[in-house]
Amino acid sequence: MTKEEYAKIRGLASNMKVSVSGLVKRALIDIKRLEEEAYDKGFNNGVGWALNYIEEKNPWESCGVEEFTLPCPRYGKPMLFSSRFKEEWESKVKPILARAFSGWAHTRCLSKVKGKT
């Protein structure tokens, strides 16, 4: 084993708050569970970061464009509603959307409110 490889193992053991020998024993006894724990921790960290990013800063807004499509009630062909058409978006579309979704909230926000009542 090279010094670099040992340093990586020692770093992993330190992060897990176990000795190197404890890490090796655990890995030998239950490698599958260790792998699953590492995957879950990485997944949860990644998902947590993504959810926080989306809540803090809407990625579409960072591009400067808000848009969606709906089928035409008459023929079914998609109608595009886009903030690129500034005047119509600000005066017509956005106020209608604000009224239509005024009772909505993020699932996480709703659960926090329900938990307090």
Number of domains within the chain? 2
Does residue 67 share a domain with residue 43? Answer: no
DSSP assignment of 18-43, as one string? S-HHHHHHHHHH-HHHHHHHHHHHHH
E strands in 33-85: 67-71, 78-82
pLDDT tier for residue 81 given thresholds of 50, 70 and 90:
confident
Percent of the chain at pLDDT exceeding 70: 84
Tokens, residue 50:
């993504």
Q: Which domain holds residue 12?
A: 3-56
Does residue 68 share a domain with residue 48? Answer: no
Site of tokens 């329900």: 114
Answer with the one of 39, 56, 73 that is the final residue of a domain: 56
The pTM assigned to this predicted structure is: 0.35
23 pLDDT higher than 70: yes
pLDDT tier for residue 56 given thresholds of 50, 70 and 90:
low
Does residue 52 share a domain with residue 24? Answer: yes
Answer with the one of 56, 73, 97 that is the final residue of a domain: 56
CA 9 to each of CA 2, 35, 41: distance values in angstroms, whole numbers, following the listed order: 11, 14, 18
Mean pLDDT, residues 14-36: 82
